[in-house]
Structure 1
Amino acid sequence: MGTTPLALPPARYDHGADEFVFVEIDQAMSLEANFKAMTITAALREEGLDGVVDICPSNASYMIRVDPDRLDPVELVEHLRELERSAGSLPADYVLPTRVVDVPVLFDDPWTRETLLRFRDRHQDPQATDLEYAARINGFAGVDELVEALSGAPYLVTMIGFVPGLPFCYQMVPPQRQIEVPKYVRPRTDTPERAFGFGGAFAVVYPVRGAGGYQLFGIAPAPVFDLQQRLPDFASGIAFPRPGDILRYRAVDRAEYDQVRSEVDSGTFRYRVREVEFSPAEFLADPDAVNSELLEVLYR
């Protein structure tokens, strides 16, 4: 049975007081690093070790909270090193049960455009919109070509955090096709709720209105965070995205945006979701083929 090697440096293990163990898989974010973090944390969760209080995967790292009266953190680190050695390669038959989700986005919308224009003095290119700036520095002919690339391939939710419900999403394309943009020179003091932003190589949907520094590309009509759990998709929790989810940010027009907003307002909106078994090894071998299969399943 074949395996796919993960060419990553040895992980770095740190203790946080006597309750936390932090493990850095790699200093740089990559899909390989995130796959390794997910593999290890999934195995640890499956084991159900007594004394492990919480498991928190991140982009290229993870953190474990421990009850030191039930589990010695030093012993846990030794066990995590064993899991790291076993996760040095991805077995061809390893699959991640997850969800593929359709997330509509209205690009170049009036609300984020109004916001970004108020903060041009904090931006690298005050004479351009964020989409125009991102298209130029990434070598696209224009905004339309950039939007096509942004919505053309799905994204992996590598972590949830910073504020409740905020999904950090890394596009599932080879490194040479990754879109990257810097954050604002100085953060904005205002960002619309549900704004679709991009910073570094990560896409996000802002769950609430507030400060922010990511480039503003558009806005989603549906929430990713619902404190009142009013919508059916939030019955089991106030945040909809989960680490390991695969999101397709699909470009929509104003008419579809307004239609989804009316469904959200009436409490009838449901995300289009398909349960899948995702093979990281197959993806690393042929990303475009696996992405095509995922989108075919989503819109079947």
Structure 2
Amino acid sequence: MKTRYTYGGDEHVYVEMDEEMSLDAFFKSLSMSEAVKAANIPGVREICPANASFQVRFDPDVTAPDDMMEQIKQLESQAEKAEKRLTTRIIEVPVYYQDPWTHETLMRFRERHQDPSGSDLDYAARINGYDNAEAFIEAHHSQPWFVSMVGFVSGLPFLYQLVERDKQLQVPKYLRPRTDTPKQTVGYGGCFSCIYSVRGAGGYQMFGITPMTIYDPRQETSYLKDFMVFFRPGDIVKWKPIDRAEYDRILKEVEAGTWAPRIAEVEFDLDAFNADMDGTNAKLMEALNDA
């Protein structure tokens, strides 16, 4: 893994851990972001972590760009020695797969899709070697996912599947983006799943929808009173398939302020995960079942 440092104009330094996403790259990026924060370098205004990189915004009148770059580089060895372990949350997220709203939307935009003859799930199942959409759905929700980044639009989480590399689901984005995506759509692009936090344009394949509000700028949702964005990097997600009746029930409870997601506090150790992925995932999901 070779780190790449570049400038973004006069006020940004961009640090890329790797060209492809991996949990090793994520943890190094997280450690370096924390190291930059702890270093209190004069002029640093903002630190923005991403999937396998981060960006530092700074005031060049306080610290010159070359000096800022050098001070950040000096923190890399410290980040490499940091423990790849964190205390985090595992969250159960209900998903109504093959719902009528995303299906209606995807049918409106078939001319922008790789395979206009079927649904997004049909296409995803076929290119990943599954016999049908139901088998693909099973693969999507059977193992937990790791939130590696929150952003692009406010509150949108990018989720990376906690399985061996050769078992990763891979689905390309639409050939041309849609101009419409329902709020809280569960989507997929590349190796990332996501939840669209707001209604709007999008290019990810659409698999279903969750009744769980994940972004509330008014902070009226019962479990978003403290902060308008639900997810944070390092969270772990377990999708829970639900039907229309359960979707309607949860949605009403969310709107009434009487529903909250199931959450358990867990320890995630990257070395332990790499040594025994199935065992680690089983312990994570057991913690959620005990919550």
Alignment TM-score > 0.5, same fold = yes
Distance 1:100 1:73, change over 3 A: farther
The 5 Å alignment of 1:275-286 reads: 275-286=265-276
SS at match of 2:75: helix
Worse-superposed segment, 72-81 or 175-184 = 72-81
Is the CA contact (8 Å cut-off) linking 1:231 and 1:269 kept in structure 2? no
Take 2:35 and 2:273, find their aligned partners in 1: how far apart are those partners? 20
Partner of 1:258: 248
Deviation per CA, 1:210-264: give whole Å up to 9, x if none.
Answer: 1111111000011111121111221222211111111112211222211110111
Is the CA contact (8 Å cut-off) linking 1:123 and 1:186 kept in structure 2? yes
State the percentage of identical aligned residues. Answer: 48
TM superposition shift of 1:115: 0.9
> For 1:54, which of 30, 46, 67 is the aligned residue?
46
TM superposition shift of 1:50: 4.0
TM superposition shift of 1:84: 2.0
Give the total of aligned pairs. 290
Distance 1:79 1:276, change over 3 A: farther
TM-score by length of 1: 0.91
Is the CA contact (8 Å cut-off) linking 1:184 and 1:213 kept in structure 2? yes
Take 2:170 and 2:289, find their aligned partners in 1: how far apart are those partners? 28
1:179 maps to a residue whose letter is L
- Could you list the runs of 5+ residues in structure 2 that have no partner in the other structure? none
Partner of 1:66: 58
TM superposition shift of 1:85: 2.4
Is the CA contact (8 Å cut-off) linking 1:90 and 1:280 kept in structure 2? no
Partner of 1:222: 212
TM-score by length of 2: 0.94
The 5 Å alignment of 1:235-254 reads: 235-254=225-244
Deviation per CA, 1:45-77: give whole Å up to 9, x if none.
Answer: 344444322111101110011233444443333
Worse-superposed segment, 94-103 or 80-89 = 80-89
Partner of 2:149: 159
Q: Residue 133 in 1 paired to residue 112 in 2?
A: no
- Could you list the runs of 5+ residues in structure 1 that have no partner in the other structure? 1-7
SS at match of 1:87: helix
Deviation per CA, 1:148-181: give whole Å up to 9, x if none.
Answer: 1100111111111111111111111111011011
1:20 maps to a residue whose letter is H
TM superposition shift of 1:284: 2.0
Take 1:42 and 1:98, find their aligned partners in 2: how far apart are those partners? 16
**CA RMSD, 1 decimal:** 1.7
Is the CA contact (8 Å cut-off) linking 2:188 and 2:204 kept in structure 1? yes
> For 1:18, which of 7, 10, 13 is the aligned residue?
10
1:21 maps to a residue whose letter is V
Worse-superposed segment, 26-35 or 130-139 = 26-35
Is the CA contact (8 Å cut-off) linking 2:35 and 2:79 kept in structure 1? no
Partner of 2:194: 204
TM superposition shift of 1:289: 1.4
Take 2:109 and 2:89, find their aligned partners in 1: how far apart are those partners? 36
Is the CA contact (8 Å cut-off) linking 1:221 and 1:261 kept in structure 2? yes
Distance 1:48 1:278, change over 3 A: farther
Worse-superposed segment, 179-188 or 250-259 = 250-259
